[in-house]
Structure 1
């Protein structure tokens, strides 16, 4: 089997074991309103370096490094770049992976696309408003969805329920 045949075989196999991603690189706008457009240099000036690297260079933080992995209070997890609410704490669970994990996201908050960085396709998800990379979704989560949204902690901020959500970044 030559290289081309091998890649074709792997691509066919992935259809049976991996979730289907929303095609395309553009992020659709919905309830979040107009997508927020900023240059990479503008984002770099606004965000701490680790958050910028995860959100806009699609880096991954080290497992177990985020204090949000242990966050158990009632509240909302918002995008660290644009402050769009992404997850409710009621959908957070301990996945044992070392990253904050959720079994569902807030309606209209994320968009997906296929990521081939590890050779085989995975489904990555981004904030629908700013396009900031949050993490990857897998089919090994708890019910009712059976999904695990495995999130980089530096890509999120936690807001306790008793506090007002931050204004969306403009």
Structure 2
């Protein structure tokens, strides 16, 4: 019995070490890279919690839900242009929703299993900030995608500015 347990523990240890090495090699370097203390100093408490710690704001709490005027939604951490008002739609979920980003180069996607079900996380491609998630239940007459994005993760710049 001791040999079986020892072999099992050794296998788990090897597997964990292999995953840790794989995680290190999969880390993406971003154009805007700062230490945790630098992000804390620059971002509000809510922005830090969402953008750097992958939090989620309360549904229907964002002022950006009500914006319909033409403009650009940018990353609150680095100013990267993410979404346009013309691609925004009312999803009824309580978060700003878009059927597409301005450009696929401005966002990145990665698997997310933290919510108890598989999802696809959307991050800013410039700073790696957590924005929200993308789902396949968006408007069928456009892309069919719903980028469900935390309002706290973005700032809005009207087209006339």
Shorter-normalised TM range: 0.7 to 0.9
Q: If the length of structure 2 is used for normalisation, what is the TM-score?
A: 0.80
C-alpha RMSD of matched pairs (Å): 1.2
Aligned residues: 134
CA distance in 2, matches of 1:74, 1:91: 10
- Structure 2 counterpart of 1:72: 68
Q: State TM-score, norm by structure 1.
A: 0.76
Gaps of 5+ in 1: 1-23, 28-33, 164-170
Q: Where does residue 160 of structure 1 map in the other structure?
A: 158
Structure 2 alignment gaps of length 5 or more: 1-25
Of residues 116, 135, 142, the one that matches 1:119 is: 116
Residue 119 of structure 1 deviates from its aligned partner by 2.5
Q: Post-superposition shift, 1:26?
A: 2.1
| Residue equivalent to 1:135 | 132
Ranges of 4+ aligned residues in structure 1 off by more than 4 Å: none
Match of 2:51 among 51, 55, 63: 55
* Structure with the larger helix share: 2
Please report how far the alpha carbon of residue 25 of structure 1 lies from its aligned counterpart in structure 2 after TM superposition.
Answer: 4.6
Q: Which one has the largest radius of gyration?
A: 2
